[in-house]
């Protein structure tokens, strides 16, 4: 047996059971429509997190690539600087009347120039080293020049 409730309009009444069924249907429909959306948002969130992680991995890879390129650039620049310095030292030795007659091997490594070969005397070895030391870019001279002892 259904209960009757008084309505708001002039004496009309509406059964409570019918109203309860309607409310229950609305709540059920709303709940069922929200649950798949929540699951979809969770999937979007997981996908979003995966995309974010991929973006971070890509950013890290790009950073590592940039560092490698920079390292290669500096290595190439150092080699070019060493080659340039060696050339400058050899040119200086060949343009000097007192040093051009000697066969002097020159190597450069980050501003340190190594000279090797044979000269006429200890004083001539010191002179060659002083000529090399005056070349722009030379930081240190390793003098491995030798001379006859007798």
Element (H or E) spanning 59, and its range?
helix 16-95
Predicted local confidence at residue 94, as pLDDT: 95
Cα separation, 33 vs 39, whole angstroms: 11
In the three-class reduction of DSSP (H, G, I as helix; E, B as strand; rest coil), residue 42 is classed as helix
Predicted local confidence at residue 56, as pLDDT: 76
Mean residue pLDDT of the chain comes to 76
Rounded (10°) CA dihedral 46, 52, 57, 62: 160
Other C-beta atoms lying within 10 Å of the C-beta of residue 96: 13
Predicted local confidence at residue 35, as pLDDT: 53
Class of domain 13-146: alpha beta
- The mean pLDDT of 89-101, rounded to a whole number, is 95
CA distance readout (Å), 116 to 20, 46, 54, 144, 145: 105, 67, 55, 5, 5
- The mean pLDDT of 124-128, rounded to a whole number, is 97
Query: Beta strands of the chain (E only): which ranges?
Result: 4-6, 13-15, 104-109, 112-118, 140-146
User: Between 12 and 50, where is the model more confident?
Assistant: 50
User: Between 19 and 49, where is the model more confident?
Assistant: 49
Closest by Cα among 75, 97, 93 to 138: 93
- The mean pLDDT of 86-112, rounded to a whole number, is 94
Predicted local confidence at residue 28, as pLDDT: 65
């Amino acid at each position: 047996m259904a209960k009757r409730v008084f309505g708001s309009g002039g004496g009309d009444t509406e059964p409570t059971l019918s109203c309860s069924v309607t409310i229950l249907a609305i709540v059920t429909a709303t709940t069922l429509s929200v649950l798949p959306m929540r699951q979809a948002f969770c999937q979007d969130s997981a996908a979003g997190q995966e995309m974010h992680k991929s973006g971070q991995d890509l950013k890290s890879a790009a950073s590592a690539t940039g560092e490698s390129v920079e390292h290669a650039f500096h290595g190439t620049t150092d080699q070019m600087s060493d080659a340039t310095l060696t050339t400058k030292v050899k040119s200086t030795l060949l343009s000097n009347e007192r040093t051009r007659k000697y066969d002097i091997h020159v190597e450069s490594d980050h501003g340190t120039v190594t000279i090797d070969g044979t000269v006429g005397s200890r004083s001539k070895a010191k002179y060659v080293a002083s000529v090399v030391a005056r070349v722009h870019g030379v930081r240190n001279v390793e003098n491995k020049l030798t001379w006859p002892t007798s």
